């Protein structure tokens, strides 16, 4: 049995090896160019240190638009333009403060307002706290136990998920719909344990979605270390009061831009291949891994094509999407434009999972034929760290294109460190490894080159 299997595997490998030998040589050239001469890391330094935080509608966001447009020109894009997009404009205002009343003294708590939330009234909200470990507990407690109180969603990220994005999905309800659900039962405020995989002192923000038929509650995320403290303390002092104050405000949407740079296809200019990340970041940090890296990788794809003299057969378009974090205005504008212009988007790739070492591609294919075509290229990526292409989605900025029949691909780097710093002040340039960033870009560029060259059936 074993011998037959091994023989078949050998034939199988030989078959692909021959077909892909030339592609393999080209991909090695791409890898060498990027690993030797990539600008992604130095561009990221500019985006993190010179531009800094860049929440939609902020001055930083506008600086980021101008800076990345220039980077795309330097990278040798045939054309660079700004695509108008109406985007969310939410501001944090003055820094938050929070404390717990322990006996006669106050213990300060590390919190940050959750994105898109309303402010507390002046002076803040002060109330007893009711802790829940999941949404079912909230329902069980009901109005009787929740009304007039602050709900503390102490939902931990389950460490047994190997792919941390799965824990982020499974354990993220507190932030995403906690404020809305707590309002249903008459709560006066919401504290959410930061969606973080480590225990430290840095609160992690992120957006929430209100239910328009219910009151809008102010809400803060608390650091995981303080969440542990608060939970423990509440066991001893269940009547302990907590106070917090936020000053945030939602303004009307404002005009901003997606930044786009293209290399026009030489043979099929009408077949469009998108590669992108999002340009906006939360206001707490430099938005290095989220998602400065996705932006500078997309720019580097253009630079690598230019440096290698690769004229793509199909049009490749690097897009810095605006407003991914708290509204999706950029994604909507990109989709609307594509639809209105009847553009033929055959393929789109999104890098919005950090600039870590490469591991896999997630594929939302138009059909099984496209999925198989992409998978047939997998052996070309083994040497560069990617061993897996599986079915899934592409990401929230390219997601809308699915209805146009676009095959979507999400870049999936190693996810172990991402939720230590995601949406927190620790997401800074220094947390990015140049080699990891470049190696992930190598894989992105290689797949994009294959699609440019061969198209998708």
Q: What is the DSSP letter of 148?
A: T
Which residues on adjacent β-strands are paired with residue 314?
268
- Contact between 331 and 277 under an 8 Å Cβ cutoff? The reply is no
Residue 359 near its own copies by CB under 8 A: yes
What are the tokens at 370? 């496209």
Q: Candidates 118-126, 240-248, 286-294, 435-443 — which segment interacts with its own copies by CB under 8 A?
A: 435-443
What are the tokens at 226? 């303080």
Q: Candidates 1-9, 101-109, 143-151, 212-220 — which segment interacts with its own copies by CB under 8 A?
A: 1-9
Query: What is the x/- site pattern for its own copies, positions 375-414, by CB under 8 A?
Result: --------xxx-xx-------------------------x
CB of 427 to its own copies, least distance (A): 14
Residues 156-195 that bind its own copies (CB under 8 A): 159-160, 162, 164
Closer by beta carbon to its own copies, 122 or else 162: 162
Closer by beta carbon to its own copies, 8 or else 266: 8
Would you tell me how many other CB atoms lie within 10 Å of the CB of residue 37?
12
Would you tell me how many other CB atoms lie within 10 Å of the CB of residue 162?
9
Residue from 3, 5, 25, 144 binding its own copies (CB under 8 A)? 5
Closer by beta carbon to its own copies, 140 or else 372: 372
CB-count burial class (<10 Å; 0-12, 13-18, 19+) for 68: buried
* Residue 121: C-alpha distances to residues 92, 148, 240, 298 (Å): 14, 15, 21, 43
What are the tokens at 11? 């034939």
349 in helix, strand or coil? strand
Query: What is the x/- site pattern for its own copies, positions 18-57, by CB under 8 A?
Result: -------------xx--xx---------------------
Strands across the sheet containing 241-245: 105-108, 97-102, 241-245, 125-132, 150-153, 189-193, 219-222, 111-113
CB of 126 to its own copies, least distance (A): 35
Which residues on adjacent β-strands are paired with residue 259?
82, 320
Residue from 1, 25, 122, 403 binding its own copies (CB under 8 A)? 1
Residue 133 near its own copies by CB under 8 A: no
Question: Which residues of the shown chain bind its own copies in the complex (CB under 8 A)?
Answer: 1, 5, 8-9, 12, 15, 31-32, 35-36, 159-160, 162, 164, 197-198, 357, 359, 383-385, 387-388, 414, 416-417, 420, 433-436, 439
């Amino acid at each position: 049995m074993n011998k037959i299997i091994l023989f078949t595997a050998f034939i199988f490998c030989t078959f692909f090896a021959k077909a892909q030998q030339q592609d393999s040589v080209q991909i090695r050239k791409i890898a060498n160019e990027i690993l030797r001469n990539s600008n992604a890391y130095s561009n990221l330094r500019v985006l993190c240190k010179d531009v800094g935080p860049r929440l939609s509608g902020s001055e930083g966001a506008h600086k980021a638009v101008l800076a990345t447009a220039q980077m795309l020109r330097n990278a040798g894009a045939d054309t660079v333009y700004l695509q108008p997009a109406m985007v969310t404009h939410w501001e944090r205002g003055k820094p938050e403060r929070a404390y717990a009343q322990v006996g006669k003294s106050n213990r300060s708590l590390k919190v940050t307002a959750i994105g898109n939330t309303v402010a507390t009234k002046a002076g803040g909200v002060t109330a007893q706290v009711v802790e829940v470990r999941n949404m079912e507990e909230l329902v069980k407690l009901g109005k009787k136990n929740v009304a007039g109180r602050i709900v503390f969603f102490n939902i931990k990220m389950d460490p047994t998920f190997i792919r941390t994005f799965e824990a982020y999905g499974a354990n993220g309800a507190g932030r995403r719909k906690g404020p809305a659900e707590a309002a249903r039962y008459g709560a006066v405020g919401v504290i959410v344990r930061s969606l973080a995989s480590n225990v430290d002192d840095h609160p992690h923000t992120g957006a929430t979605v209100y239910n328009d038929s219910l009151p809008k509650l102010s809400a803060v995320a608390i650091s995981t270390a303080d969440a542990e403290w608060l939970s423990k303390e509440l066991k001893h002092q269940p009547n302990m009061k907590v106070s917090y104050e936020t000053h945030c405000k939602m303004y009307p949407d404002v005009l901003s831009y997606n930044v786009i740079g293209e290399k026009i296809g030489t043979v099929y200019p009408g077949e469009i291949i998108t590669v992108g990340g999002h340009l906006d970041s939360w206001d707490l940090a430099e938005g290095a891994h989220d998602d400065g890296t996705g932006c500078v990788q997309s720019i580097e794809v253009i630079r690598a094509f230019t440096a290698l003299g690769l004229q793509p057969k199909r049009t490749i378009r690097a897009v810095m999407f605006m407003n991914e974090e708290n509204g999706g205005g950029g994604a909507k504008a990109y989709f609307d434009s594509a639809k209105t212009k009847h553009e033929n988007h055959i393929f789109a790739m999104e890098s919005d999972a950090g600039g870590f070492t490469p591991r896999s591609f997630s594929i939302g294919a138009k059909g099984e034929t496209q999925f198989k075509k992409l998978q047939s290229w997998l052996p070309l990526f083994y040497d560069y760290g990617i061993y897996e292409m599986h079915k899934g989605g592409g990401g929230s900025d390219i997601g809308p294109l699915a209805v146009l029949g676009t095959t979507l691909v999400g870049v999936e780097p190693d996810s172990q460190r991402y939720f230590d710093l995601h949406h927190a002040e620790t997401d800074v340039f220094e947390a990015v490894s140049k080699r990891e960033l470049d190696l992930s870009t190598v894989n992105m560029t290689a797949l994009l080159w294959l699609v440019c060259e061969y198209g998708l059936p």
